[in-house]
Amino acid sequence: MEVSIWGCALIVIAAFVTDIRTMKVPNWLTVTAMISGFCFHMVTEGLHGLAFSAKGFAAGFGLLLLMHMIGAVGAGDVKLFGGIGAWLGTLLTVQCLVYSVFCAGFIGVIILLWRRETLKRLRMVVSSLAGVFILRSLQSLNVGKEQQLRFPFMLAVVPGYIFACIYTLS
């Protein structure tokens, strides 16, 4: 398990660098992550390893696809978590995702406080929720792309990955 953690760490570091520079995770990196994860586990554990990678891939890809559908992450992050899942399996991938989401929330709050936008955004949330209850329509929950707080998700994935690995190895 430790070898797969270090192998996946190389992928996560490369994704971090490219996401910080370009706000994108390139396909060559995500495909490399997926193929290398499948190959590593197939070679080391045979068909059991292939099943381990396939379940991890499905968990990572599927959960991030749901997040992508609501506009929380980009398509590169979805494919990257498929690769992370192929390396780490289901349990560690889900733990990494949960820690990453917590870190993203923390980073988002820090950014809002730094920009002094907290009260403005809280008013928008309250008015959106009021619109749902008064108008009985979910349309008021739609926030325009220009109003969304955006930052590279890898800023949250790296500490999330570290927390998940520390938890697993301890």
Give the pLDDT mean for 96-111.
91
- What does the mean pLDDT of the chain come to? 86
Using CA atoms, how far apart are residues 156 and 81, in angstroms rounded to an integer? 13
Confidence category of residue 142, pLDDT binned at 50, 70, 90: low
Q: What share of the chain is helix, strand, coil (3-state, %, to 5)?
A: 85, 0, 15
pLDDT of 149-164, one tens digit each? 678 899 999 999 999 9
Give the pLDDT mean for 69-82.
92
The verdict on pTM exceeding 0.85 is no
Instruction: Give the pLDDT score at 130.
Output: 66
- Domain segments of the chain: what residues? 2-169
pLDDT above 70: percentage of residues in the chain: 80
Structure tokens, 53:
């990678």
Residue 61 one-letter amino acid = F
Residue 9 one-letter amino acid = A
Residue of 68 and 137 predicted with greater confidence: 68
Query: Is the pLDDT at 85 greater than 80, yes or no?
Result: yes
Give the pLDDT mean for 92-110.
93
**Beta strand extents in the chain (DSSP E only):** none
pLDDT of 46-60, one tens digit each? 999 999 999 999 999
Instruction: Give the pLDDT score at 144.
Output: 47
Instruction: Give the pLDDT score at 114.
Output: 75
